[in-house]
Amino acid sequence: MAQAYTAEKGSGTAGTPPSESRVRSLLERWRGDRGIWRRGVLLALCAVLVAFLMILHAQIPNRIGNLGSLTETFLPWLGLFVPLLLAGALVRRSATALIALLLPLIVWLNLFGDLLTGKSAAVGGDLTLATHNVNAGNPDPAGTARDVAASGAEVIALQELPAGQVAAYEKALAETYRYHAVEGTVGLWSKYPLSGAAPVDIRLGWTRAMRVTVTAPGGKVAVYVAHLPSVRVKVNAGFTANQRDNSADALGEAIARERLDRVALLGDLNGTMNDRSLNAVTSQMRSTQGAAGDGFGFSWPASFPMARIDQIMVRGMEPVSSWTLPRTDSDHLPIAARLSL
């Protein structure tokens, strides 16, 4: 009775699971279909185009609306075309499209495959850093400060601090962090002594970056806190990022002049590690997320993170782990990293 029931349900062979029978039936139909190589040429061309966009992203010019930087900001998301094109290839029963899809899949895995494996260590490290763009319009600065402090970080950098709310952050963090320094709209709170706090000129006309020395138990660390100018995507102007790019160049020059061996950069850079326009910074520092994170670590927007524009980058130190923190009342997610000095 059991065998008769299986056959009646469409397995095709007594005792053969229905799913296996369906796959076998599908392959039989494809084997006798002479059009599987002729159909889906357009899908195949789209797959090749996506692959070349990823391979040659650095060659996309920025002269027209900073199109290259815009593509690089959301570069990992080009991988979404693979399952979409796969679905189209299956519907069209196109062997040509299926084979062509191997190209963008291989390219994407080559670019981002290492981010799919966990590199964050559960133990180890000497110093934990955290950074957060708290949002100037944050309705609960004290609660946000406590949320970030709950990470256990010894050093916290905050950006987008309105002058009228600095006192609220100072009060909320005073019990845990004995030392702090604020320059313009950025600040640093630390459990360890700070010295030499000073603004960093990033060519804006007002202060959105600073440098301070943290004297940690493992030695001195030069910490830079920065909030680079925002970028916008406009129909008539494209990706407007020129002001950010100029500030990134100035920040990179300041870091290049740094005399201490151990350097950390924390902040909202309004750009990803893939964005060529941040090369002045990214070429001389390591991303903690890329070196010791789990996944992409997207931090913005907090409601549906699509890009890692908040960064913790280091030089002269070894990242041990990197992670995003729970959402606060900001439109960014806080991020943290554990370092070995």
Q: Whole-angstrom Cα distance, residue 90 to residue 85?
A: 9
Same domain flag for 284 and 304 = yes
Same domain flag for 251 and 295 = yes
Helix axes 102-112, 81-92, angle to 10 degrees: 160
Within a domain: residue 22? no
**Do 185 and 208 meet the contact criterion of CB atoms below 8 Å apart?**
yes
Same domain flag for 92 and 216 = no
Q: Indicate the pTM of the whole model.
A: 0.87
> Last residue of a domain, which of 116, 145, 179?
116
Same domain flag for 138 and 83 = no
CATH of the domain at 150: 3.60.10.10
Give whole-number Cα distances, 3 to 9, 17, 19, 24, 80, in Å.
Answer: 10, 11, 16, 19, 42
Same domain flag for 207 and 319 = yes
Same domain flag for 109 and 164 = no
pLDDT band at 22 (very low <50, low <70, confident <90, very high): low
**Do 299 and 259 meet the contact criterion of CB atoms below 8 Å apart?**
no
pLDDT in tens, 192-245: 999 999 999 999 999 999 999 999 999 999 999 999 999 887 655 567 788 999
Same domain flag for 101 and 173 = no
Structure tokens at 267: 């902040």
Q: Is 333 exposed, middle or buried (0-12, 13-18, 19+ CB in 10 A)?
A: buried
Q: Whole-angstrom Cα distance, residue 295 to residue 112?
A: 9
- Angle 254-256-262 (CA atoms, 0-180°, nearest 5)? 100
Within a domain: residue 12? no
* CA contacts within 13 A on the Cβ side of 135: 19
Within a domain: residue 18? no
Range of the structural domain that residue 245 is part of: 127-340
Q: What is the pLDDT of residue 137?
A: 95
Same domain flag for 253 and 318 = yes
pLDDT band at 281 (very low <50, low <70, confident <90, very high): very high
Q: Which segment of 16-20, 156-160, 178-182 scores lowest on mean pLDDT?
A: 16-20
pLDDT at 136 over 90: yes
Same domain flag for 138 and 236 = yes
pLDDT at 186 over 90: yes
Within a domain: residue 175? yes
- Angle 49-52-58 (CA atoms, 0-180°, nearest 5)? 135
Q: Whole-angstrom Cα distance, residue 29 to residue 181?
A: 71
> Last residue of a domain, which of 65, 85, 116?
116
pLDDT at 8 over 60: no
Within a domain: residue 23? no
Within a domain: residue 7? no
Same domain flag for 144 and 37 = no
pLDDT at 6 over 50: no
Q: What is the mean pLDDT of the chain?
A: 91
Within a domain: residue 43? yes
Same domain flag for 65 and 177 = no
How many other CB atoms are there within 10 angstroms of residue 98's CB atom?
A: 19
> Last residue of a domain, which of 116, 136, 151?
116
How many structural domains does the chain have? 2
What percentage of the chain exceeds 70 in pLDDT?
Answer: 89
Same domain flag for 50 and 72 = yes
